[in-house]
Amino acid sequence: MMAEKKAETSSKASTPAKKATAARKTAAKKTPAKKATAARKTAAKKTAAKTPAKKATAAKKTVAAKKTPAAAKPAAKKTARVKAPRPAPERVPGRKERRGLVVSASMDKTIVIRIDSVRSHDRYGKVVRRSTRLHVHDERNAAGVGDTVRVVETRPLSATKRWRLLEVLAKAK
């Protein structure tokens, strides 16, 4: 008798569960699959899906351009642009400017110049000669040893370079 009661309760319990799952299945069938997948896509996926269409239209344009007789020009070779030398400015505002003699030009794109200063001593009147050596950036390797050059202060280019070559005033003889 107990077995019969258990069987009845289990059959009653299984029918509502079956009905609930069946209701879910029919509800899932009613919603279109396209809307569900579109809702799941992230914005990045949507934009990625749009870009191949743009590429395809660009490819069609190039194909159409190739077919026209006006586009049958000979292919021009691309040459590297060389910066034209521009004249040195008369004065660079807000920057120190010095003139000196090139002492060394053995490094690549760097020269060492010597700036000589001559002044008389305050108390004794003796003429005191002092010199300062500066490392200068020479982009075109234009200066040689013995040249007189004009340099301008610039941002730090290396551990020792704080100056840039403006122009070569006089070449060495």
pLDDT in tens, 19-66: 556 656 555 555 555 555 555 555 555 555 555 555 555 555 555 555
Please give the C-alpha separations between residue 71 and each of 64, 65, 76, 149, in angstroms, as whole numbers. 10, 6, 13, 52
Query: Can you give the pLDDT at residue 89?
Result: 76
Q: What share of the chain is helix, strand, coil (3-state, %, to 5)?
A: 40, 30, 35
Top-tier CATH class for 97-170 = mainly beta
Is residue 129 predicted with pLDDT exceeding 60?
Answer: yes
Query: Can you give the pLDDT at residue 91?
Result: 78
Query: Can you give the pLDDT at residue 118?
Result: 97
Q: Is 50 helix (H, G, I), strand (E, B) or coil?
A: helix
Query: Can you give the pLDDT at residue 19?
Result: 58
Contact criterion met (CB below 8 Å) for 111 and 57:
no
- The per-residue b/e assignment along 13-35, b for 16 or more CB within 10 angstroms, e otherwise, is eeeeeeeeeeeeeeeeeeeeeee
Task: Give the range among 54-63, 72-81, 139-148 with minimum mean pLDDT.
Answer: 54-63
Query: Can you give the pLDDT at residue 92?
Result: 79
What is the pTM assigned to this prediction?
0.50
85 CB-side CA count, 13 A: 11
With 0-12 / 13-18 / 19 or more C-beta atoms within 10 angstroms meaning exposed / middle / buried, residue 85 is exposed
How do residues 89-116 score in pLDDT, each as one tens digit? Answer: 777 788 999 999 999 999 999 999 999 9
Compute the mean pLDDT over every residue in the chain, rounded to the nearest whole number. 75
